[in-house]
Each structure stands twice: as structure tokens, then as C-alpha cells.
Amino acid sequence: MSVAEQYRELESRLPADWADARFVLNVDDASGAERAASMLTAFQPGRVGGQVRFSVPRRGGRREQARRMMERIDREGIKGDLELVTTSEAPSEPAEFRAEWAPAAEQWDGAFAALPVDWTDVYAQVELESSDFLDRGALLMAPLNPARYSDAVGFRFRVGRYGYGAAPEMTRRCFERLDTEGIGARVTILHALADTKPVMTQGPVWYLDGGPV
């Protein structure tokens, strides 16, 4: 059975309230284990000889990321036995966080599709699942010129058809980067304008909380 098949089978046995699952991949040779560990860097693997230990969080798109990594290990021709070591239960959380967020790129696609066809300017917000991801999130979304707002765990940014703001294609690419690294995010379009015609300017300005954005 391939590593990906083993992972899917073990995942199907996880309890309904699991929050974090720890696995160990036993590979026949140390070189194969080293290669597998290099593919699992997003899951902070530990390797001893031919054994690779790693942990998969449930939230933030990490489950799907883990499935892709197992398939990649198979494509590399690495053989091994995958075991489930232990699981932890999800802590009690507000209802809005209990359901998994969809991948950020998909959320952006849905929000962007709802804009009028003659949209020109967007002011949007991305909320990250944990303050642990603020620095990395800011780096991955740097092309959007993300700005912190209040004490929230996230950023706000502008998207424009022309003038000031990131291109929608670049915006989606930045969210793909978050998804690839398993950083859970919630994307919201706060304000949108249509059919604006800037003359000798970089576009319209919103005044929010006493300042321009």
C-alpha cells in the first residue's frame, strides 16, 4: 500500500473531535527518510535513522496539504510504513472557528466573483488563524502591501484594476502561498467601488477610523 493510501486510511479512523495527529513514517533506508523529511518541512518533522515523525494539525488546510505531501513522497518512489502515534482533542472554541476555513484562494475566488463587472477598487481584509503566522503571512503577502489594523490577527490591503492596489491575479497568488504553507485564513472584501475614473491620481481614497487607506 502506498504512503498516500496509508495516510488516507489512518485519517479516516481519526476521532471526530481530533485537533492534531502525530504520525511516524518508517522508511527502509536513511537516505529515503531524509528525502521524505525534506518534503514534510511544513509539519516540523523529526528524523532518526529511517524514522520520520511529524504532526498534522486539523485546521488551516493542513489536512489537504498533508495528503498532497504523501502523494509527493509516493511519486519520489519512497516506500515506508505509516503509523498513527497519537491524537489530541480540539479545545473548546467559539462557534465561528469550529468549522474549517476553506482555502484562502477559494475564498478570494468567491468574493471576487461577486463583484460587479465594472469594479475598479477593492479594500479587503485577511484574518489569520493564529498570531503565530503574522510574520510569515506578512512576508507571503508582501506584494499586497498588507497593513495591520487595530489589534486583530490579520491585515488589510487594496486591490485595483488600475492605479493604487495589487492586481487581482497577484492577490490570488498570495493567497495560494498561504494555502501551500497551511496557514488558515479568512478573506473578506470590506468595500468596493465600480466605474471610477481617476484623473491625474492613483485612484480613490477611503477614510476609515479617521485616516485614509
pLDDT digits (tens, 9 = 90+) for 1-47: 899 999 999 999 998 888 889 999 999 888 999 999 999 988 889 99
Residue 109 class from Cβ within 10 Å (0-12 exposed, 13-18 middle, 19+ buried)? Answer: middle
Taking residues 71-90, what's their average pLDDT?
91
**Residue recorded with cell 476553506:** 102
Contact 51, 23 (CB under 8 A): no
Question: Of the CATH numbers 3.30.60, 2.60.40, 1.10.3470, 3.30.70, which one belongs to the domain with range 3-89?
Answer: 3.30.70
**pLDDT, position 62:** 78
How are strands ordered across the β-sheet holding 154-160?
A: 154-160, 119-128, 185-194
Architecture of domain 101-207: 2-Layer Sandwich (3.30)
Put simply, whether the predicted model's pTM sits higher than 0.95 gets the answer no
- Secondary structure (3-state) at 168: helix
Give the pLDDT score at 149: 87
User: How many angstroms separate the CA atoms of 132 and 120, rounded?
Assistant: 33
Cite the residue boundaries of each domain of the chain with CATH code 3.30.70.
Answer: 3-89, 101-207
At 196, the pLDDT band (50, 70, 90 cuts) reads: confident
pLDDT in tens, 131-176: 888 999 999 999 999 999 888 899 999 999 887 889 999 999 999 9
